[in-house]
Structure 1
């Protein structure tokens, strides 16, 4: 039996769940290229503090963004759980440092609630909504909008990939 895209959409969308501090976030699994252990990065002079630097990923130099610094979630700690999620956004590759990755979760449209605007460091314009699974709540991030936002300083890079 074949499932059409229409039917598949009603069954849910998959999100990669990751932690930043005490909170759990989710991003569209289709934007994730791979998950790597944290490794030293090469710092770039005059880059914003949240851009940790760049890494060489099989011959491609990619920028690495530390999401804890970006969202002002305290001093980042790099340990055995720290990972870099390699994202592929419109053909451009970007690394995102997070505290840990937990699982891939499928959420149905009924499980995704609109996000309230609370004036936090994490603007609701970058949120798809809040995913609820029993007692667990995921802050669902629109990773394309976040990474392409002007304050990330990656918009030229991502726009070039979209062209």
Structure 2
């Protein structure tokens, strides 16, 4: 019996990226993001998700996609890493795909040290880069974000 995986696919310009569906909590339309002083460059700011303060990441900066003005049609993916809930600002979510687990070519088999990418799925109409949320931030960025979040709501 083949193992199947589900992925949430999103776009940055015309490039397709994906997250494991099990990591995704919800997708919402663009909302106001409160700036967060002293946060890593890839952090746009923070939003509240049912009372939880969540950092919002600029996926364009992280994946080195050219910046563009943020639009009201953009979407935010709320997902869970091993350490925290995060919000990922993307152009649009196109849907969920299901693939055989063997259809994922792991990044180490393509090039070593492909930051933030777990692997690639080859579909009939092109490639989808599967994002590794747990490798998203370096240790320095994690510490910087933790400090910025603590400073934003001191006890």
TM range, smaller chain: 0.7 to 0.9
State how far apart, in whole Å, the 2-side matches of 1:97 and 1:44 are. 15
1:117 correspondence with 2:111: yes
Q: C-alpha displacement at 1:130, in angstroms?
A: 1.0
* Equivalent in 118, 127, 135 of residue 128 of structure 1: 118
* Equivalent in 44, 55, 59 of residue 52 of structure 1: 44
State how far apart, in whole Å, the 2-side matches of 1:93 and 1:154 are. 16
1:145 correspondence with 2:135: yes
Q: Are the equivalent residues in 2 in contact too, given 1:146–1:152 (CA < 8 A)?
A: no
Corresponding residue for residue 25 of structure 1 = 17
TM-score calculated relative to the size of structure 2: 0.81
TM-score calculated relative to the size of structure 1: 0.77
Q: Are the equivalent residues in 2 in contact too, given 1:20–1:73 (CA < 8 A)?
A: yes
State how far apart, in whole Å, the 2-side matches of 1:88 and 1:142 are. 11
Higher relative contact order (CA 8 A, sep 6+): 2
* Equivalent in 34, 51, 63 of residue 26 of structure 2: 34
5+ residue gaps, structure 1, are 1-6, 158-163
Which structure 1 residue ranges, 4+ long, deviate > 3 Å from structure 2?
Answer: 154-157
Corresponding residue for residue 75 of structure 2 = 83
